[in-house]
Structure 1
Amino acid sequence: MAEIEWMRLTAAELNGRAAAGALVIVPVASLEQHGPHLATGVDIVCATAVAQRVARLLDAAGAPVVVTPCVWTGLAEHHVAFGGTVTLDYAAFAAVLRGVVRSAARAGFRRVMLLNGHGGNAEAVAVAATELSVELGIAVAAGTYWHLAPEAIAPVLERQPGLMHACEAETSMMLALMPEAVRRERLAEAHGPHSTRTEGQPPALHRRRSFKEVTPSGVIGDARAASAEKGERLLAAVAERIAGMLRDEALWR
């Protein structure tokens, strides 16, 4: 199996990947509170893991691919009130994404996937992908991993219909990937409402509010049913689904 991490490859090796038409996957995340039971790096760990697993599946299928280090901070203003959170404003976040993608383009790569792992970044990465495609003249796609594969996530979970925040899904993935980052003695407290929306707020109406106003625990969903076995199943199913999407040549034409 070929090396898939940008930071582990030499400049000459990366030049070869670019010449071969490799896809660059950029995991994008956030550093923020994740309830009483999870370390703040959840989105970084999970986005990186999903990106790398997708890349290994692509590589196994003969598709050249490279994964950059994670863009570790994003738009997390809605978590600041809890503490432990680092956030950028939109201009700074967009500039970071532009710098990373422009660097990939200058290195000769013509296809980039912004693979997002933080809900607060979802709209911003989509806008960035469109703007950068036009500006740089390369193909840039974007998506949030759980939005790309909801049908792969729902059957694994017992207490919620999809991935939320510091929830059954994220806690399960952390138990699989970095169990030392889970404070098991606090799991009994790790539950909250199953939506950040006020009663009657339609799905198409966007109004982001502080999580402190919505959930005293900082959790959306219910982490008490989490397990490492569920986490491994989630990671495998999501990676398989997204790798299938990215193998589709029609996406890149």
Structure 2
Amino acid sequence: MRLEDFTWEDAAAYLRQHDGLIIPIGICEQHSTHLPLNTDTLVVEFLADYLSQETGLLVAPTVAYGVGLPCDRVYPGSSSILYEDLRNAISSLICWWKLQGFARFFLLTAHGDMFHLKALRETKQEHVFVCDLYDVEIQDILDKQTSVKHACEAETSVMLYLFPEKVRRDRIQDFETPSEEFQAYLQHLKDTPIQGSPGCQGHPSSASAEKGAQIVARIKAHALEWIHHGLFPSTTPE
């Protein structure tokens, strides 16, 4: 169920039965030469709709911009906002919804930038829960990687499973910056372009829809457990 499809009377009727709201947080960010700029947004909206179907909670309109790596500004179309601005925007939105009777807010994102997540976790409101969808163990599913990177074996597999028509298979390139060198980029300490990079980190050439199906299944289980903990904290096992 999408809040944007409701009238205010529909929303009032919903609030007589529920007090939770799922808020998908996306980003407009380069995903190498083979995935669209809205890759993380597509994935988070898919999972938000899944969680809505499973729990009966409403999904708020997607916040389509987030915090990205400064080095990505050289890729046309990519965009980012300051983490303070994302944090303040989410806080402002929640303030309005709280006044109307919403009480629990489930912030969902498929973008793992540390400052993006910091902004969501620092939202100055009570009963706000944050879920990084890719914070799952998938090493046993992947062939060339041990975790999710960027436009990589994992993310490309997910897109091949969920949105195969959006993957430019003929443009896939593998590229990886040494971990010790890439840390400065991850921490936003370095903003110069990564020489020779098409935009990915990892091995998208090893991606498959079959791997994507397995990864999505684990993400679904992870996200559903997270949202149940927010709805029923006293009944969720430690």
Question: Is the structural similarity TM-score above 0.5?
Answer: yes
Give 1:106's aligned residue: 99
> Cα distance, 1:127 vs. partner?
1.0
Percent identity at matched positions?
Answer: 25
* Structure 1 pair 104–194 and aligned structure 2 pair: CA distance change class (3 A): farther
RMSD of aligned Cα (Å): 2.6
> 1:98-152: per-residue Cα shift (whole Å, max 9, x none)?
2322232123110001112212211111112xx122xxxxx111131112xx22x
> Cα distance, 1:247 vs. partner?
1.0
Alignment of 1:42-81 (within 5 A): 42-59=39-56, 65-76=57-68, 77-81=70-74
Which has the larger share of helix?
A: 1
5+ residue gaps, structure 1: 60-64, 134-138
Alignment of 1:1-253 (within 5 A): 4-59=1-56, 65-76=57-68, 77-120=70-113, 121-128=116-123, 131-133=124-126, 139-147=127-135, 150-151=136-137, 153-187=138-172, 189-193=173-177, 195=179, 197-198=180-181, 206-210=187-191, 212-213=193-194, 216-248=197-229, 249-250=232-233
Residues paired across the two proteins, number: 230
C-alpha contact (below 8 Å) 2:21/2:106 kept by paired residues: yes
> Cα distance, 1:227 vs. partner?
1.6
AA partner of residue 67 (structure 2) = L
Question: Given the two structures, how large is their TM-score scaled by the length of structure 2?
Answer: 0.85
C-alpha distance in 2 between matches for 1:251 and 1:198: 44
* Structure 1 pair 125–232 and aligned structure 2 pair: CA distance change class (3 A): same
C-alpha contact (below 8 Å) 1:125/1:143 kept by paired residues: no
* Structure 1 pair 162–82 and aligned structure 2 pair: CA distance change class (3 A): same
Question: Given the two structures, how large is their TM-score scaled by the length of structure 1?
Answer: 0.81
